Amino acid sequence: MSFDLAARLAARRTDNLYRQRPLLQSPQGPQVVVDGQPLLAFCNNDYLGLANHPQVIEAWQAGAARWGVGGGASHLVVGHSTPHHALEEALAEFTGRPRALLFTTGYMANLGTVTALVGQGDTVLEDRLNHASLLDAGLLSGARFNRYLHNDAASLATRLEKACGNTLVVTDGVFSMDGDLADLPTLARETRARGAWLMVDDAHGFGPLGAKGGGIVEHFGLSQEDVPVLVGTLGKAFGTAGAFVAGSEELIESLIQFARPYIYTTSQPPALACATLKSLELLRSEHWRREHLNALIRQFREGAEQIGLELMDSFTPIQPIMIGDSARAVRLSQMLRERGIMVTAIRPPTVPAGSARLRVTLSAAHNEAQVRLLLDALDECFRLSGRESDHA
């Protein structure tokens, strides 16, 4: 008996899908050191530049001095501490909902929420480009699981007609590998008309989107009736770690009772909640971060269009450049790196087969000159790698 891991690993290599972890040897930010090399990076999700913010670090240090380091127990035993509670209240107020519940990670928030809400005899319908954690949650729930065409309300409607039991429709707010927005007003209308519930994971929308950083729900002006289950993660624009679910009193109490990834895990360090309280304050009040970020996004898109790059339908900080072939995407990423620029090649199975891409992400921590450097390097690399032949 053998698992033959060597053969699986070899196949992964020949398919150009082998993953390697770059070693980050500096704090997160535009200028990083990776594997010993100083690089200008366009690949983290720290959209507002808060992951290494002095005030957030200070809040973390003060929190650790006051509350210690470890959570010490699960929330239901004796791990639910004052900073966790204060953060939940602040997140409820931020999202304009009665309650919010703090999870240790976004992956766990999604697993916990979907499995608590639907099970055997129910239905879960998901956008086919949803984040892996949502797809895994749907499969694990035991409910009838079906994927609709990306952002396609008609495709959703035909599936809603055949749905049985409690029906949960689940979508990313901002799609993490494409940067486009879910058509939430239409999806919400279809879902409500069928008596189903809509769950939105807005990991990439909170912070950059909405006048006050309230994400896609604020962007579209939607209510809790439209989106009864709202998930946000704290490891992206908030710059810290963890996640939350916001919704009704009944929803949150149900998650406390039934969400196993909430119940059977140690609470996050209380000092982390102190740091997130500070980053929430900065995210809400420092509008210049969103404005500067939006200016960089416009600069990048205009510049990329002039070079003739194939961008996607996105006005968010996620600005992928479509390549198609995995080997070419990896080669381009490598060429950029030789020029001191880090942009990640995203390949299947993270994205559908044949849609490998360079996932450029922008942050309020970048400046115009850095975006200019990126554009110049892209221009050179695409020229060298024979852009003309692809357009033939």
Ligand X SMILES: *Cc1c(COP(=O)(O)O)cnc(C)c1O
- Site size with ligand X, rule: CB under 6 A: 14
Q: State the pairing for strand pair 229-233/243-247.
A: antiparallel
Q: Is 176 a catalytic residue?
A: yes
Contact set for ligand X, span 158-177 (CB under 6 A): 172, 176
Q: Is 355 a catalytic residue?
A: no
8 A C-beta contact, residue 293 and residue 208: yes
Which residue, judged by CB position, is nearest to ligand X in the bound state? 106
Active-site option among 204, 219, 292, 366: 204
Q: Is 318 in the site for ligand X (CB under 6 A)?
A: no
Q: Is 151 in the site for ligand X (CB under 6 A)?
A: no
Q: Is 179 in the site for ligand X (CB under 6 A)?
A: no
| Cis amide prior to 270 (ω within 30 degrees) | no
Q: Is 264 annotated as a binding residue?
A: no
Q: Is 212 a catalytic residue?
A: no
Cα–Cα distance measured from residue 97 to residue 90, given in angstroms and rounded to the nearest whole number: 10
What residues have CB less than 8 Å from 240, skipping those under 6 apart? 50, 51, 56, 234, 272, 275, 276, 279
Among residues 106 and 214, whose Cβ is nearest to ligand X?
A: 106
- In the 8-state DSSP scheme, what is residue 266? B
Among 47, 107, 197, 206, binds ligand X (CB under 6 A): 107
Among residues 321, 319, 320, which one has the least CA distance to residue 293? 319
Phi/psi for 103 (5° steps) reads -115, 160
The two structure tokens encoding residue 345: 């090649």
Active-site option among 81, 176, 333, 355: 176
Q: What is the CA radius of gyration of the chain?
A: 21
Give the interface segment with ligand X, choosing from 30-38, 105-113, 308-316, 364-372 (CB under 6 A).
Answer: 105-113
The two structure tokens encoding residue 277: 């309280």
Among 95, 105, 279, 344, binds ligand X (CB under 6 A): 105
Binding region for ligand X (CB under 6 A): 105-107, 110, 131, 133, 172, 176, 201, 203-204, 233, 235, 243
Catalytically active residues are 176, 204, 236
Feature table: binding site for pyridoxal 5'-phosphate: 106-107, 176, 204, 233
